[in-house]
Structure 1
Amino acid sequence: MKSGMIEKEGFAALVLRLRSEGISDLDLLTAVEQTPRSAFVPAPFAEDAYTSRTIPIDCGSFMEGADLTLRLLHRLQVKPGQRVLEIGTGSGFTAAVIARLAERVLTIDRYRTLATAAQQRMDALGLSNVVVRQADGSNGMPGEGTFDRIFVTAAFPSMPRFYAEQLTHGGSMVAPLMISDDACMMVRLTKTGSRFEREDLFPVPYLPIMPNVAAAL
């Protein structure tokens, strides 16, 4: 089967699964359709691009299954004109989708290999409103102003209250939080004044966030 047909059929199957969960955000689904996911996965896993399977990528990292990725982006609720910070670029797929919804995306990863490859994919897709950097995301990005949305894909050991200063009033952050030694919960934190309102979403399989830049990779 030709790759274009695999892409279309994979996306169609994903849409059906998402609709069964009550996710039918047309803007989000259009952004995903415009961002060929198979271009972000290693070639041997191209046929799994739109499945719920976790896909290994370079540097010991992984891509979440398509279903989980879309569930998280649906909860992030990105709107036109917003500035978004993503901690954990990975393949760059989520940043590319967000870029089709937001005004500007700053995405960072501790691995140079991943950041470089993600930037190349953004360039190939003509997404000029995405900035990819290699950086330590354990404390966010102080000095970059405030963001309307922050999306994190590595788990914090406790509530990341230092992020409150990096969110606009009414802004929100979707991030994993370790709730025990071996359990992780995705939470949405909405800024009200100088504090967060917390909403627990669902368990997720993320690993604890690792500080410092991985200079050798």
Structure 2
Amino acid sequence: MKAANSNRDQFAILRRTMVEQVALHADHVSGKTGRTAIASPVMEAIERVPRHAFVPVEMTLYAYLDSPLPIGCGKTISQPFIVALMTDLLELGAEDRVLEIGTGLGYQAALLAELAAEVFTVELIEELAQSGRRRLGEQGYGNVQFRVGDGSLGWPDHAPFDRIIATAAPDLIPPALLQQLKTGGRMVIPAGLEDDQRLLLVTKDEGGRFETEEILPVRFSQLMSADDD
């Protein structure tokens, strides 16, 4: 029991340090993002969610570095600063329904679940989807629904969504995701060719028109579809 408590205390200290690093990074790139700080609710959620529970066991010691980490199947968990920024750009409300494309091992979904009413997450790779579902369940997140499938198609049965976030990058924003975004909604998605990606904020106004804002250059795994080999 003492060892378990000691580990929890150590991880809590490491999370606080990670939050400080994220804050410094946000300030450093504020000229590009237009945001001098990440909103307090997002930072508080990052300090609550145990990132070490959403990485492979061999990555546990590195979980609180402000760095992407491999999670298997050729995929990564995003850098904490990028996760914080993307979550912040969504401007989540407590009643929002959120679609996430790319469950991975569930870390981003956990943060969304802390801040929104419902999370609908889609993962193409079944091995990751099953592991992500298990990890989120172990952490007690009961407001997340899961689907194994092609993320570029969204989840039409539950559309429209107040917010949409993608953790993998298509060349172009999939039309299905635009169609499934609610009027007045916000989408945060990386897009572009592998060596020329941009993080985009897409908003949909009351007239149904879309506006796209480039936030900063990024590097994400490519969004795969069910048709990819």
Q: TM-score, normalised by structure 2?
A: 0.86
Instruction: Tell me what 1:80 maps to.
Output: 94
DSSP-derived class of the 1:33 partner: helix
Amino acid at match of 2:74: G
Deviation per CA, 1:48-107: give whole Å up to 9, x if none. Answer: 212122211121111112222112111122110000000000110010111011000000
1:208 is matched with which residue? 222
- Indicate conservation of the 8 Å contact 1:151/1:173, yes or no: yes
* Equivalent residue runs for 1:32-71 within 5 Å: 32-71=46-85
More deviation in 12-21 or 167-176?
Answer: 12-21
Cα separation, partners in 2 of 1:48 and 1:103, compared to 1, 3 Å: same
> Which stretch shifts more, 165-174 or 204-213?
204-213
Cα distance, 1:205 vs. partner? 0.7
What runs of 5+ residues in structure 1 fail to find an aligned partner?
none
Q: Which residue pairs with 1:8 in the alignment? A: 12
Residue identity matched to 2:17: A
Return the alpha-carbon distance in structure 1 between the equivalents of residues 120 and 227 of structure 2: 17
Letter of the 1:189 counterpart? V
Residue 153 of structure 2 aligns to a residue in which SS?
A: coil
Give runs of aligned pairs for residues 125-204 of structure 1, distance below 5 A: 125-178=139-192, 180=193, 182-192=195-205, 193-204=207-218
Show the counterpart of 2:21: 17
TM-score (norm 1): 0.91
Runs of at least 5 residues in structure 2 that lack an aligned partner in the other structure: 28-35
| Counterpart AA for 1:19 | A
SS in 1 for 2:199: strand
Q: What percentage of aligned pairs have identical amino acids? A: 33
Measured on the aligned residues, the alpha-carbon RMSD in Å equals 2.0
**Structure 1 residue 27: deviation in Å?**
1.4
Which structure 1 residue ranges, 4+ long, deviate > 3 Å from structure 2? 159-162
Contact map agreement 2:169 2:222 (CA 8 A) in 1:
yes
> Which structure has the highest helix share of the two?
2
